[in-house]
Amino acid sequence: MKNHFLFVFSLAALLMVPNLASASDNKMTAEVSTDLVQINTGFDGMNLLLFGTTNGANNIIIVIKGPLETNIIRKKTRVASIWVNTEKVVIENVPTFYAIASTRPLNQITTQSILKKYGIGTNNFPTNILKQTNAKTMDVSDEYKNALVRLKNKLGLYIDNPIKIKLIEGQLFRANIKFPANVSTGNYTAQIYSFKNGLLLDVINKPILVEKIGIGADVFRLAHSHSALYGIIAILIAVASGWIAAAIFRKV
Amino acid sequence: MHIYLPIAEMSVNIFLILAMGGGIGFLSGLFGVGGGFLMTPLLIFIGVPAPVAVGTEANQIVASSVSGVLAHWRRGNVDFKMGSILLVGGFFGSSAGVVLFKYLQFIGQIDLVIKLSFIIFLGIIGSLMFWESIRTIIRSHNPASRRRKLHQHNWLHGLPLKVRFRKSKLYISAILPFAIGAVVGVLSAIMGVGGGFIMVPAMIYLLGMPTSVVIGTSLFQIIFVTANVTFLQALTVQTVDILLAILLLTGAVVGAQFGSKYSVRMKGEQLRALLAIMVLGVCIKIIVDLVTKPTDLYSITPLLAG
């Protein structure tokens, strides 16, 4: 609801500024409903609204990428009738979060080579596959990359079936992207690409910061900066709660 | 109503966690087991990362064991002398276990080792207890063969360093409880359990302790071993989620009180038969999981720093 009000308000603001709407200026404009996602104790995911003016472009693609991490993908095979992890690869430069939104299916917007060049789509972002142990086939990169995307997809961290971007009278666009509750903290970027007749017109990068706030953030910080103290506090809380419960129940 | 867990980095339903804590706390008070062997797999099942489940569960067991031991202490059912020797062994074992846990996690076999350990220990102990308790129940219906010795004497009673344990009515070597404590300590750190389901039968069948003091004594030593695991996991891998632990233990300490009250009304052999059935159930479930083809052959883990 809040997002909708914001959207209407911002659209009105965009339309009232004459130079943004002028067709001769070949710049699109884009804005994000918030550039700061705060994870507090009640955090259960968040809707992010992206909107702007197309300025003559007929297609828009939005990519939201989380900070990069290194993942280990393991594969199970059958050993003596039980399933055991036997093969593994290490994949570097994996975005912790990846969401894509577009006005129509990606292959109808532009060519595969352009998508590849800009790393648009889960098949196209560059990763670094490090080492393969016990890999029997010659090249297993695709197999493991597909597994990575599938597993992240299941966790709700990759949205590779593009979210529909709405075009309003060919001038304005808007898209709603859901951040799930299990997003990592760090620096995210929203990249907005505009295309006309298959050619890339313009790119806008918008930073989004995801951070923890409140008691949860304090707990996390204490756990990592003063681990020993944290461990002792955890034990004391447990002992006290157990004692209190026993004392309460004794009187009942 | 949802709450965001700062260490597990996920959002959970408060009432689901409270209910899980309450249910397992009840069983914990009833049988004198920490309930970790049920709770850890359950936490992983609802999506908590395995290392966080193990570290947090250890913390939660501290609370339910404190709550449980006080009830048994008031009834004089704790052998502190026996418990102290068990926990010295437990300290050594659990410290080694935390190191082993890190190594197994590094080579990617921790899940397999956890599952195999569960199958072996749950399988053996479940079958033994089930068989024994059924025999006792049958015998109690047949008063002709009722008389029994306090405990059987075997080679274990020939070991040196003999100590008298008045409460347990035993005169045995101190090496025995020390070794049992150490073995259970290792398993406790690796499997994310208090180890009561191994400790309780080991005290009954290996040491020959009377059932009445077994549960209280086991809870007493579990407090210290799980506190040690909590501390070491918090220190080395930062996987103890205090918020999750508080939610779990709120449910668990309440459940444990009802459980231990209820356990007084039940016969020892009936309790053991019930526990045995539960232990075997979990064991069979894990075997089925290991031999059936997983829905996804691949799994993903972030590379741990360092």
Per the prediction, chain A carries an average pLDDT of 84
- The whole-number pLDDT of residue B109 equals 83
Asked if A44's CB is within 8 angstroms of B11's CB, the reply is yes
Nearest to A88 among B65, B108, B250 (CB): B108
- The whole-number pLDDT of residue A8 equals 58
| Confidence grade of residue B195 (pLDDT, cut at 50, 70, 90) | confident
B-chain CB neighbours of A73 within 8 Å are 298-300
Both tokens of B62, joined, read 């501290």
A202's CB contacts (< 8 A; 6+ apart) are: A26, A27, A28, A55, A57, A193, A194
Residue A218, number of CB atoms within 10 A of its CB:
12
- Over residues B291-298, the mean pLDDT reads 86
Both tokens of A65, joined, read 């990428």
ipTM of the complex model: 0.82
**Which phi and psi angles does A163 have, rounded to 5°?**
-70, 140
Alpha carbons B61 and B51: distance in angstroms, whole number:
16
Alpha carbons A95 and A100: distance in angstroms, whole number:
13
B-chain CB neighbours of A89 within 8 Å are none
Query: What distance in Å separates residue A8's CA from the closest CA in chain B?
Result: 30
Q: Report the range of poorest mean pLDDT among A82-86, A88-92, A199-203, B139-143.
A: B139-143
Residue B57, number of CB atoms within 10 A of its CB:
34
B-chain CB neighbours of A88 within 8 Å are 108
**How confident is the model over B249-276, as pLDDT tens digits?**
888 878 877 887 887 777 777 877 888 8
Residue B169, number of CB atoms within 10 A of its CB:
14
Give the start-to-end residue ranges of the domains of chain B: 2-141+155-290
The verdict on B27 touching A (C-beta cutoff 8 Å) is no
Alpha carbons A44 and A97: distance in angstroms, whole number:
16
Kindly compute the dihedral angle of the four CA atoms of residues A33, A39, A43, A47, in this order, to the nearest 10 degrees.
20
The verdict on B231 touching A (C-beta cutoff 8 Å) is yes
Report which of residues A234 and B262 the model is more confident about: A234
With beta carbons less than 8 A apart as the criterion, state whether A66 and A188 touch.
yes
- The whole-number pLDDT of residue B156 equals 64
Per the prediction, chain B carries an average pLDDT of 83
- The whole-number pLDDT of residue B241 equals 94
- Look up the CATH architecture of domain A2-212: Sandwich (2.60)
**Which phi and psi angles does B33 have, rounded to 5°?**
-105, 150
- Over residues A139-144, the mean pLDDT reads 75
A-chain CB neighbours of B246 within 8 Å are 237, 241
- The whole-number pLDDT of residue A18 equals 45
The verdict on B286 touching A (C-beta cutoff 8 Å) is no
B-chain CB neighbours of A229 within 8 Å are none
**How confident is the model over B166-192, as pLDDT tens digits?**
777 778 888 888 999 999 899 888 877
Asked if A219's CB is within 8 angstroms of B2's CB, the reply is no
- Over residues B156-171, the mean pLDDT reads 75
The verdict on B107 touching A (C-beta cutoff 8 Å) is no
| Confidence grade of residue A87 (pLDDT, cut at 50, 70, 90) | confident
The pLDDT of residue B225 is above 80: yes
Report which of residues A149 and B237 the model is more confident about: A149
The pLDDT of residue B248 is above 60: yes
Query: What distance in Å separates residue B57's CA from the closest CA in chain A?
Result: 11
Q: Which of B16, B66, B246 to mutate to test the interface with A (most CBs of A within 10 A)?
A: B66
**Which phi and psi angles does B165 have, rounded to 5°?**
-110, 100
A-chain CB neighbours of B257 within 8 Å are 245-246, 249
Task: Give the CA distances from residue B116 to residues A149, B91, B110, B196, in Å, rounded to whole numbers and listed in that order.
Answer: 30, 23, 10, 18
| Confidence grade of residue B1 (pLDDT, cut at 50, 70, 90) | confident
Nearest to B59 among A151, A238, A247 (CB): A238
With beta carbons less than 8 A apart as the criterion, state whether B152 and B18 touch.
no
Alpha carbons B178 and B171: distance in angstroms, whole number:
15
**How confident is the model over B58-96, as pLDDT tens digits?**
898 888 788 878 878 888 888 998 999 999 999 999 999
Count CB pairs under 8 A between chains A and B. Answer: 187
The pLDDT of residue A139 is above 80: no
Alpha carbons B195 and B181: distance in angstroms, whole number:
9
Model-level pTM?
0.76
**How confident is the model over A42-72, as pLDDT tens digits?**
888 889 999 999 888 889 999 999 999 888 8
The pLDDT of residue B153 is above 70: no
Report which of residues A1 and B37 the model is more confident about: B37
Q: Assign B251 to helix, strand or coil.
A: helix
Nearest alpha carbon to residue A121 among A160, A165, A157, A95: A160
Q: Assign A84 to helix, strand or coil.
A: strand
- Over residues B154-174, the mean pLDDT reads 75
Query: What distance in Å separates residue A86's CA from the closest CA in chain B?
Result: 9
Query: What distance in Å separates residue B73's CA from the closest CA in chain A?
Result: 11
Give the start-to-end residue ranges of the domains of chain A: 2-212, 214-252
Query: What distance in Å separates residue B292's CA from the closest CA in chain A?
Result: 8
Q: Report the range of poorest mean pLDDT among A149-158, B148-157, B262-271, B284-293.
A: B148-157
What DSSP designation does A124 have? T
